[in-house]
Structure formats: C-alpha cells, structure tokens
C-alpha cells in the first residue's frame, strides 16, 4: 500500500489510520510477538565505560533475517547474547512479548542482574492473547519481573477496547504476588483520553514521540515536558514513567516538517531527554537498546535506526556522552517572551483540508508560552466541538510560540467547516462543547487573542 505524501507531517496515529488495522502487529515499532531462528547472533561488542546508567532500556532480541510476524522461536542463547551487550549499561530492561521464546527474556535478564518490566503483546487475536497473558502471569508469579506490562499501544491501534484492556489488567492483578506492579503502556494522548485505564494501573506508563509529531529537535524535550505534565496531573499520586521515547539516527524522514533523522540528532535527543529525566526525577525506558532491521519494512527506513547501539551491538556516535554522565542545561522551560513586547496575537500556520487527518498548526507572538494555552474548537454540521478531547481541552504552546492540535479525534471531525482557536491564560478552563450551536461569549471575554477560519 502506498502511503500518501502529506503536506505537513505524518503522526504515529495517522500512520495507523493510513495503513489500516491489518498491519497492527508489525506497525507497532516496539511490538513483541514472534522472533526467529536460523541465524547466529552477532558477536558481542565491548560496551561503554559507564559513569551513568540510564534507568531502563526497551529491548528486542531480533537480528537480521528475523521478523516477529513470522512467529519463529527466539532461542535463549540469542536472547542472552543480545542482553549481554547492554547488561552493564542499564539497570532495567523492558520486553514486549511473552511467547515464541520471548517469555524466557525476564529470567535471563534477571540472571544478568537486571530488573525487568516484562510485557505481554496483546492484539485482535484473542487466542494469542491468552498465551501471552498466561506466560506473563507465570513470569510475575516467579518474581522474574518487578513490573508486568499488559499490552503496548492497544488503545492507539484499536486492537482492544478500553473494557477489554481493563479486563486483562484485572486478570493479571488478581493473581500476581504483592509488590509486582501491573500496568499497560500507551501513547500519552490515549492515556489522557482513557482515565479509566489510568485508574486501573499501579503505575502510569506513557509513550512520547516528538519525532512522530513533527516537532523540531530544538523543542522536542520542551514538548515532551508539557505532555508529561498533562499525564501527571491526571494520574494524581501515581508514578508516571516514560515507557518509550527516542529519535531515529537514520533512514528517510517521514515528516516534511522540522523533525529530521540523523546520528547527530539521535545523540542530541538522547542526552537532552536524559538531562530532563534527571532534573525532573522521572524514571524511564529509552527506546531502544539496539537497531532491529525488520522494522524498516513496516515503518520505512528510519524504523530500523532507533537503537543506542546499532544492529551489531556497536555503540553509535555521540551516545557515549550519556554514559559519561554528561548533561545539557535546561532548554525545556520556555520562559522567553516570543516576538518581544506587543499585543498578543495568534495565527494559523497550516489548516488541513476537509477530509484530511493532518493536525492544525499555529503560532503566537508577544506572550511567554508557558503562561498561556490554546482552546480549539471545530464546527461540524453546525455544531461546535472541543478539540482535541474533553479530558485534554487545552493545547500546549512550545517555547518558540508554535502549537499543534489534533482536530480529528473522532466522529465526523474530518468534515469540519470552521475552526476557532483562542489564546487563553493559564488557570482558565474553557467550556466543553459537544455540538453546541454557538461559541460561548465567555471565550471572547477570557481570550487575549483569537483566530477563526472557514474551509
């Protein structure tokens, strides 16, 4: 299937929209499931001298010639060999599947002195899900993992309904020993849209990919910081961990905007993110330990370049700085007055065409971004609707004054004929609209600037 070229960028959610649910299993860049045999693991390279250990790494054991969709068995020797490349350089590893040999990863990692967040890969295949859940429970009962991850991005891909996912979570929670935490991982926006899932888990496991959202590297961590704060506010007293984030070092850009793949950008994002995590005392699993070639077939060439190490276990250029304990200064707080003094203004930089799924993009000037947010509404068949979702009715503004809002989060959103965006101060809670015939007057009263467009 050919993926249409888009005028702005392709988000992870939009990739799924374009490719369809038939490709759910290979589409998830972190999926577990099968494995493969027949090839010998690459030789183990010498790891870096470690001053600082990243809290955790996402781990997949696949080597050239293997693909999870083939449901081949991954040998324990291969898993051990791949783990030994990274074992001295992190404290935790996270896995993504619990069958076809992958269920052995937790025990092997534990024997190497690693703590484990073990995952069950859940899909639309309910028979396969039963195997995954049974094996995950066995891992928990054996205390081979401190965290059990019941599915990854099942809400994003529509592989499971909210009620199905909660059902699996409760089954696991009922039988695992006290002290073993149970969660599910999904993108931050899906967790914001499903507070019932947040209420069910022992810790909140959120995935953040500024790259997939077309965010310039310069502002990527500022964007993540603000999205993380949204999830944290909804999670209350529960710990919120970053379960996936990263930046590809190679391949072809899927974003026509500012998110660019390169070895330099991958290394820069790694040290910037770790600096942020240290400053904020946030635990995390970085995506990912090593490149996996099979992902290029389903994500494009950049899909096989997410690793800190390459596919042969060789540390990539620039990554050593993190292990040396180096950090960068705070560049995520966004306290600069954009455009200098003046009357606040908001503009729309990109308005998607009717029928499209691109995100709305805009910018503001003469304000400090951290002091304001955007309240966005669309008019569909005469009624006004809050965007992106009721549980997240305000859109964050980046340190450069730019903002992005997903205006196609359900129903007939792609058919919206009018769009309104209001620049409002922090502390103001805009009205939640679900088909109202007019925009409330209070928006004009509380907004410092606004823009409307008909398409």
Whole-angstrom distance, CA of residue 419 vs CA of residue 379: 6
Three-class SS of residue 434? strand
| DSSP line for 362-397 | EEEESB-GGGEEEEEEEEETTEEEEESBTTB-SB-B
- What pLDDT digit, counting tens, does each position of 341-387 carry? 999 999 999 999 999 999 999 999 999 998 999 999 999 999 999 99
* Residue in the structure block whose two tokens are 């928006």: 443
Q: CATH for 12-323?
A: 3.20.20.80
Comparing 31-40, 263-272, 338-347, 411-420, which segment has the lowest mean pLDDT? 31-40
Handedness of CA 18, 20, 26, 30 (dihedral sign): positive
User: Mutual orientation of helices 217-235 and 263-280 as an angle, nearest 10°?
Assistant: 30
Same fold: 12-323 with 345-454 = no
Cβ distance 256 to 367 under 8 Å? no
Backbone φ/ψ region at 101: left (φ over 0), alpha (ψ -120 to 50), beta? left
Cβ distance 360 to 404 under 8 Å? yes
- What pLDDT digit, counting tens, does each position of 291-345 carry? 999 999 888 899 999 999 999 999 999 999 999 999 999 999 867 899 999 999 9
Q: Could you check whether the bond before residue 288 is cis, i.e. omega within 30 degrees of 0?
A: yes
| pLDDT, position 85 | 96
Q: Which CATH class is domain 345-454?
A: mainly beta
- Residue extents of the structural domains in the chain: 12-323, 345-454
How does strand 147-152 pair with strand 181-187? parallel
| pLDDT, position 48 | 65
Whole-angstrom distance, CA of residue 299 vs CA of residue 46: 29
Q: Where are the beta strands (DSSP E) in 406-446?
A: 418-425, 434-436
* Residue in the structure block whose two tokens are 């965007």: 387
| pLDDT, position 70 | 87
pLDDT for residue 208 is more than 80: yes
pLDDT for residue 408 is more than 50: yes
């Amino acid at each position: 299937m050919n993926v249409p070229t888009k005028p702005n960028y392709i988000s992870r959610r939009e990739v799924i929209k374009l490719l369809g649910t038939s490709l759910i299993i290979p589409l998830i860049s972190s999926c577990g499931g099968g494995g493969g045999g027949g090839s010998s693991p690459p030789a183990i390279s010498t790891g870096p001298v470690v001053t600082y250990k990243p809290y955790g790494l996402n781990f997949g054991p696949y080597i050239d010639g293997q693909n999870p969709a083939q449901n081949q068995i991954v040998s324990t020797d291969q898993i051990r060999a791949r783990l030994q490349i990274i074992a001295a350089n992190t404290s935790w590893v996270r896995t993504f599947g619990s069958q076809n040999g992958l269920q052995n990863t937790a025990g092997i990692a534990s024997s190497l002195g690693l703590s484990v967040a073990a995952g069950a890969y859940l899909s639309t295949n309910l028979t396969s899900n039963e195997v995954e859940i049974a094996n995950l429970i066995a891992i928990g009962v054996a205390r081979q993992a401190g965290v059990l991850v019941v599915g990854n991005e099942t809400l994003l891909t529509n592989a499971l309904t909210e009620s199905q996912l909660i059902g699996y979570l409760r089954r696991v929670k009922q039988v695992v020993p006290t002290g073993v935490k149970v969660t599910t991982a999904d993108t931050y926006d899906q967790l914001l849209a499903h507070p019932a899932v947040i209420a069910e888990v022992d810790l909140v496991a959120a995935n953040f990919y500024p790259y997939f959202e077309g965010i310039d590297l310069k502002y990527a961590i500022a964007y993540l910081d603000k999205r993380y704060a949204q999830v944290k506010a909804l999670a209350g007293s529960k710990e919120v961990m970053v379960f996936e984030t990263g930046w590809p070092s190679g391949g072809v850009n899927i974003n026509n905007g500012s998110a660019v793949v390169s070895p330099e950008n991958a290394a820069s994002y790694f040290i910037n993110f770790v600096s942020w995590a240290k400053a904020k005392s946030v635990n995390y699993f970085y995506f990912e330990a090593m490149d996996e070639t099979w992902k290029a077939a389903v994500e494009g060439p950049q899909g096989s370049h997410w690793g800190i190490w390459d596919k042969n276990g060789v540390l990539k250029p620039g990554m050593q700085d993190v292990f040396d304990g180096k950090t960068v200064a705070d560049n995520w707080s966004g306290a600069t007055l954009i455009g200098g003094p003046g009357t606040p203004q908001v503009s729309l930089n990109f308005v998607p065409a009717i029928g499209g799924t691109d995100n709305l993009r805009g910018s503001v000037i003469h304000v400090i971004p951290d002091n304001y947010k955007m309240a966005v509404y669309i008019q569909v068949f005469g009624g006004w609707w809050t965007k992106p979702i009721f549980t997240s009715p305000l859109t964050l503004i980046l340190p450069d004054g730019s903002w992005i809002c997903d205006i196609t989060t359900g129903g007939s959103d792609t058919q919206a004929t009018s769009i309104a965006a209001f620049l409002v101060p922090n502390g103001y809670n805009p009205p939640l609209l679900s088909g109202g015939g007019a925009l409330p007057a209070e928006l004009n009263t509380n907004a410092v600037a606004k823009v409307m467009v008909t398409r």
